[in-house]
A and B are shown apart, each in its own frame.
Chain A
Amino acid sequence: MRKIVSIVTFTLFLFQSSAQEVIFERDVKKQIERTYNDSAGPNGAVFSHQYYNYGIILPANENDSAAIRDNMQSNYWSYGVRTKFKLNETFALGFDVFYMHQRYRIQQSDSINIFSLGYRNDVQKLKFNTLGLGVYLRINFGNRGNVLGKYLDMGADMNYVFSERLFAKNEVDIAGNGAGDEVVRTIYKKLDYTSNLQGFATVRFGVNYFAFIARYRFTDMFVRSDEFYPIGQIPELPRISVGVEIMLPTE
């Protein structure tokens, strides 16, 4: 009984002590630490933000390159976190950690027809899921306050391919009446002829939350070709891509 009385008393005490209802409160010291702080913000000493970018892979004209569909169906997108270290008002160093998905939709042709010699698939796609690390040097232009401002980034990315898929889609004439009445989708996994590492040189021009990006892949996509392409090296996929990037605001 005494225990119950004690609990009730304590509860009433708590109720009494919480009777004040604060409807507006500011801790000035915390506000000052948060706001009047040179190291915080987009032009602060260290700044991290998330970003999302999307780009298309440009068709290549090289003879030894596989043709891709040029209707923006060969593309990539990535999502990452970027951390920038300010060196001075003009220069900064930055690092990216990101996930990137790449999709190459390969145009089937008689001359260069990778992975399926002697057979033209209706649709053939090569997809990569990668995790990447990037490093860049940033050059800022003009005077600015605590904003990213205008900048040019020059850097390199290294992607680790943790998953790759080769897709083929064909309409097959199973009934033998020439109607092509069955769609057959084939997925090849764990491809042993693709490289696990992809290296890119990256140039990025940005204004605050928005940037244009151009990327050049300087590593080869395929490591061996004897099984699938016995007449020589597998034609390389196009190396240049262009895209846009949106920085996700931190507030």
Chain B
Amino acid sequence: MWVFLTDKHDVVFDPRQYFDVKAIERRQREGLPLQDSTDFPLNENYVAHIATLCDSVCGTSRWFNAIACVASDVQLQKIAALAFVKNIQHMAYAPVLTEQENVGMDDLDEDVKKILQGQTESMQYSLLRMNGYVGKGVRIAVFDAGFDGFLQDEAFQHIIAGDKIKATYDFPRDKKYVFNGHSHGTNVMSCIAGKIDENYIGCATDAEFLLARTEQAIRESKVEEENWVMSLEWADKWGADIVNSSLGYTNQFYFSKDMNGKKSIISQAAAMAAHKGILVCNSAGNEGNTNWEVISAPADADSILTIGGIAPSTGYHASFSSYGPTSDFRLKPNLCAFGYAVVTSNNNLYVNSGTSFSSPLVAGFAACIRQMHPEWTLRQLYDELQHSGHLYPYFDYAHGYGIPQASYFIQSDSTDSVELDSTAVIRFEYQQEMNRFKICVNNPDSNEVSDEEEDEDLRPWMNPQPDDSELIYNGLIDFMYMHVQDASGMLLDYKMTKPGIATGAFIADKYADDCTVRVHWKGITTEKTIRELKEQR
């Protein structure tokens, strides 16, 4: 149970004593006061009093002025009757780590090497690295189920040798050692900062780390969200710039309608962390092909980056990746990255799948951008990361703004991104017979609608459609994306079509006049209102 208290009367707090120097620097950067009431400790008398009435106190939350405890119904009645108790809330159990089963490739064959290269190069990591942006001086907190095998793994020796692990804590066991339990955290760490020789598994190879074990095990024992909340406060204290969390709470404790960023305490905590200048990256979840279908908590939180997964083989949404929007219709996921990634644990490299690995890939990328722009406030960093998505300003509820691109931040002549065709335009042609608009990509110098160059390597649809699990990365693919957005900003529908002679079509009469159609192709986005289109026909 969370027991929320009414006040923090008679408490003493010295921020310079409590916070790490990086936490103070972050507050200064964000223009925040060094302290506010959410940083104050709890009233010790209140905590002591509650401790006498319940079975055990599991922990406390300064941010929420709350005590996590175990208590019977009778005990709860007594606690609820106390004058300094505001309310009581049940806690969630059994989060699901957003990991799928291993794909099962232990040896690095050519396809796996493509994945390994693609998981960072799809974000143009070499451009960052060539310019020295490798997360240096940025502090990343990683919350997971354990970091088994981390210390022995070759992929992390640069982190260990550089003394980059700044703090660790195992919240379920209440001790500092985190390098046991599950290897999921080791997998995740490899997607943030792993490297073997010159093979980069993640982007932030020079970052500093705070490692927190927040879960006791996967899918077996009860795991409480209090650990996650306390870990976030711990990360704040230690000066985290970025938090990566690859877990989600779904139907065990919530209805999908609760995914509004306000219902679950971890979503509230994630939003609070954002308010304090921490960039929280959370996996969207792996519920895309289940009945739940949508994002989980805390991926629904406001102002955090929710990361979806794409399948390298198809170049678009991996079927398991959870969909947005939130139940109050905010955009989620915000960005996406590979949902199949090469990870390491115990010196084994293999492909694993799940948005568990998409999120750390973006967290590592974000650390490089934070190094590039230490002066940016969180809001600037958050907005610019979204703007760097390869689909921006197009977005949808499967891909967000797409995969973040380093070329947005660093101008370069040679990148592997989608080639921008400066002469291409997107045109809406009315087809009277069908009472619909056809979307055409063409060159204004020619009256012909252009055919795409027939490069099979870049066009998996020319071959039989590959399955999600086929591990072939073919580079970013110039699909035609289209969405219709209503006046409130919510998407009504969205789709991707194969580029070609007739690249897409829609019936304008289906939509209200103030809706907007937005089409994206090869880095170009065109938009028109339905009213404009109706006038055009």
Contacts and interface: CB of A to CB of B under 8 A. Distances in A.
A227 interface: no
Interface of B: 90, 92, 250-259, 290-294, 314, 316-317, 323, 325, 327, 396-398, 431, 433-434, 438, 461, 465, 479, 490-498, 500-505
A23 B465 CA distance: 9
A12 to B, nearest CB: 12
A25 B493 contact: yes
Contact of B252 (A23, A28, A37, A145): A145
B323 A26 contact: yes
B492 to A, nearest CB: 6
A33 to B, nearest CB: 12
B498 A35 contact: no
Given A17-B505, A23-B496, A250-B291, 12 more contacts: A20-B438, A20-B500, A21-B461, A22-B504, A23-B498, A24-B495, A26-B397, A26-B494, A36-B256, A144-B253, A145-B258, A251-B291
Interface residues of A, number: 30
Contacts of A19: 500-502
Contacts of A42: 251
Nearest to B465: A23
Given A26-B397, A35-B292, A36-B327, A147 B498 contact: no
7 contacts: A17-B505, A22-B495, A23-B497, A24-B495, A26-B493, A28-B491, A146-B251
Contact of B255 (A16, A25, A31, A146): A146
Nearest to A250: B291
Contact of B431 (A17, A27, A251): A17
Contacts of A25: 493-496
Contacts of B294: 31, 35-36
A25 B398 CA distance: 10
- 6 tightest A-B CB contacts, nearest first: A25-B495, A19-B502, A21-B498, A146-B251, A145-B254, A24-B496
Contacts of B257: 36-38
Contacts of B254: 145-146
Contact of A41 (B251, B259, B327, B505): B251
Interface string A76-107: 00000000000000000000000000000000
A139 B497 CA distance: 50
Interface in A1-36: 13, 16-17, 19-29, 31, 34-36
Contact of B323 (A31, A147, A250): A31
Nearest to A17: B434
A47 B252 CA distance: 16
A113 interface: no
A10 to B, nearest CB: 10
Contacts of A20: 438, 497-498, 500, 502-505
Contacts of A145: 92, 250-255, 258
A108 interface: no
Given A24-B398, A35-B292, A251-B291, A147 B494 contact: no
A41 B258 CA distance: 14
Contact of A143 (B250, B251, B253): B253
Given A29-B492, A34-B293, A21 B500 contact: yes
